[in-house]
Structure 1
């Protein structure tokens, strides 16, 4: 799907799911835009937290014997 430079996001969804989503959001007092932006922010925050967690875990992990042996191998 093409990505333009505007701030718009366009996607196609099943009409029944669209109707159900709008109904549910309306009952919760949310607009699609508000809901989407909240979900997008949460996704990006959680994704960044996972990346930071894995980077920290990788940095604190001791070298394996195989890696250590290869890195110190004399040629």
Structure 2
């Protein structure tokens, strides 16, 4: 998988799984991006701390 510098993350998953994931995330009142960033912060809190220091 290529790693670029664009700031975008591209994943290929089954279309049905993608639709189900979007539905469940929407039920929580989140966008895919918000959900993903929450998960990153939960799993990698040191990355979130670095981001907060910069901003």
TM-score normalised per structure 1: 0.57
TM-score normalised per structure 2: 0.76
Tell me the distance in 2 between the aligned counterparts of 1:26 and 1:43: 21
Query: RMSD value over aligned CA atoms?
Result: 1.3
SS state of the match for residue 44, structure 2?
Answer: helix
Q: CA deviation at 1:25?
A: 0.9
Q: Which has the larger radius of gyration?
A: 1
1:33-54 CA distances to partner (integer Å, 9 max, x unpaired)?
00000101111128xxxxxxxx
Question: Could you tell me which residue of structure 2 aligns to residue 14 of structure 1?
Answer: 14
How many residues are treated as equivalent by the alignment?
46
Structure 2 residues without counterparts, runs of 5 or longer: 47-55
Alignment of 1:17-56 (within 5 A): 17-45=17-45
Q: CA deviation at 1:26?
A: 1.0
